[in-house]
A and B are shown apart, each in its own frame.
Chain A
C-alpha cells in the first residue's frame, strides 16, 4: 500500500525541487544569482508550484481545517501573482545628482540589464544633501608591518590621532602634532617623525585605504591615518521645478521614501567626488506590491487559523 496519496507526492516533490533550486542560488556569486533567480527555468518551477497550489485549493477548502489551508493556498497564489505583475509592469530607475544639480530624466533599469532614459513629469533639483552622524569622527594613527607570509599589512600599534600621542617602534618615534577636521570629513593629521638616525621630519597624513597605506617609514613599516565616522542617517531634499516655476519640496531618507506623481523615491547611497557630494536615489513604480502584500495577509491569516484550529497532523 502506498504511503502517500498521489497529490501529496507531487506536492512534496515540488517542495523539494523548489528548496534545492533555491539553495543552489544561495551559493552563487551575487553577480550571477539575480539572473539565476530570474531565469525561465525557475519561473517555470514557480508556475508549476502555483498551479499545484491552485489545484489543491478546492479540495483543501472542503477539509476540516479548510479555512487555514484555503487561506494559505490563496495567499501563496496571490504572492506569486503579485511577483508576476511586478516582473512585468514594475518600473525602476536611478537618479544621481550633486548638490544643486537638476535632471528631468532617470536611468531606467530593466531585468535584461538594458538601460534607457525615462522622462519624469517635472525636473528635480537636489537642494541639499545632509548626513547625520552619531558623533565626531574617530581618528586613529596605526603603525602597520608588512607580513611576507600573509602578503598584507598587519597592524602593530594604534593610538588616537590627538596632539601629544606617541608611537614608538624599531627605532622610530612618531608624535602627533595636530589633527584637522574638514567639515565632518576625515580631515588630516600632522605628525613629527623621528627616525633611527635621529633625523626629524614633519609629515601630513591623509586618510587612505587600509590595504594600501600611503605614508611609509621604511620598506616594511608604514604609518596609516584613519578617520571613521558612524553615519546615523542621510537625506536628500529635492525641489520640483516645471517650466521655470518651483513646485513642492520632497525629502527622501533611508526608510522614509518620498511619494511623487505615482513614483516612490528611495534614498540609496551617496559619495564624494572632487569636493562635491552626490546623492543616488532610486525611483520605483510597482503595481504588484499591493497584490503581494494582500497575499501576505492571507498567508498570515492561514497560519493563524492553523494554530487556532489546533492543527491536527495529516492522516496517512
Chain B
C-alpha cells in the first residue's frame, strides 16, 4: 500500500511538473497571462510532491532529511510552494515553466540515487534534525526564489522594462528577507544542536563555515541600496548568494567534516 503510494506520488508529481513545464513553454507570450492549465498541473504536482514526502517519512520511519535525494524532495517542494504562495502574482508567467522544470529535475534525482535507507547515526537521532533541516530547506527555497528574481532583473534592466523591474525589486528583497530569516534560524538551530551533541556551538566545520559565508553574502545584499543605478549590482549580489548556497550544499559535501554523513 505504502509502496504503491510512494510510486504513484513520485511519478504523478514528475508527470505533472513535466506537463506544466511543456504547457508553460508553449503558452509563454500568449493571451492567457495567468496560465490556468499549467498552474493547475503545478498545483497537482505540488500536492503529489507533498504526499510523496509524507510517504517517504512513513516508509523510512525517520525524518527523510539526511540523504541527498530526500533533501532534494524537500527543497524542490519548498521552492514550488514559495512560488505558488508568493511568487506567482509578481513574477512573469513564463517563470512557472522554469520552476516546474527545476522541481522535475530535483525530484528525478532520487530515481538515480535509489531508495535504500541508511539508519540514522547516533548524532543524528535528535528532534533538532527535523527542525534544523526544515528551516534550512525553507530558507533555500525562499532564497532560490529571491535570487531567481534577481536573475530576471538582470535580464530585463533596460529603459523599456523599468516598470516591471520596479515591481520585482521589492519582491526579491522580500523573498531574500524571508530566506535570510530562515537561514538564520537554520544556522542557530544547528548551533544549538551542536552544543547539545558535542558541547560546542561552533566547530568551524566546512559546511558551517560555508553557510556563514552564505549568510554574510545575503547580509551584504540586504545592506546594498536598490535604487535605479544600483539595482544591477544588487542583483549580482543576490545571484552570488544562491551560488554560495549551491557551494554549501554540493561543494562542501566533497570535503571531510561533521556534515559528511551521506
Contacts and interface: CB of A to CB of B under 8 A. Distances in A.
Interface in A250-305: 253-255, 257, 264, 266, 268, 282, 284, 286, 289, 292-293, 296, 299-300, 303-304
A121 B128 CA distance: 32
Contacts of A8: 223-225
B209 A22 contact: yes
**Residue of A19, A266, A310, A315 contacting most chain B CB atoms (<10 Å):** A19
A18 B216 CA distance: 8
A15 B170 contact: no
Contacts of B201: 289, 292-293
Contact of A34 (B169, B180, B191, B204): B204
Interface residues of B: mostly helix, strand, loop or mixed? helix
Interface string A154-192: 000000000000000000000000000000000000000
Interface in A198-232: 230-232
B204 A37 contact: yes
B56 interface: no
B78 to A, nearest CB: 16
A230 B185 CA distance: 31
B204 A25 contact: yes
Given A254-B197, A296-B188, A313-B170, A3 B216 contact: no
Interface string A302-316: 011011001111111
A18 B220 CA distance: 11
A113 B220 CA distance: 35
Interface residues of A, number: 53
B144 interface: no
A26 B206 CA distance: 5
A316 B199 contact: no
B255 to A, nearest CB: 7
Contacts, number: 140
Top 9 A-B residue pairs of the complex, sorted by shortest distance between their CB atoms: A316-B227, A303-B181, A313-B226, A284-B199, A311-B177, A15-B220, A254-B122, A266-B199, A316-B225
Interface of A: 3-4, 8, 11-12, 15-16, 18-19, 22-23, 25-27, 30, 33-34, 37, 83, 92, 134, 230-234, 253-255, 257, 264, 266, 268, 282, 284, 286, 289, 292-293, 296, 299-300, 303-304, 306-307, 310-316
Interface of B: 118-123, 125-126, 128, 169-170, 173-174, 177-178, 180-181, 184-185, 188, 191-192, 195-202, 204, 206, 209-210, 212-213, 216-217, 219-220, 222-230, 233-234, 252, 255-257
Given A230-B118, A313-B173, 5 more contacts: A233-B122, A253-B122, A254-B122, A293-B201, A311-B177
26 contacts: A3-B229, A3-B233, A12-B220, A12-B224, A15-B217, A15-B220, A19-B216, A22-B209, A23-B213, A25-B209, A30-B257, A33-B206, A230-B119, A232-B125, A255-B128, A266-B197, A286-B199, A296-B192, A299-B188, A300-B181, A300-B188, A307-B174, A314-B226, A315-B225, A315-B227, A316-B227
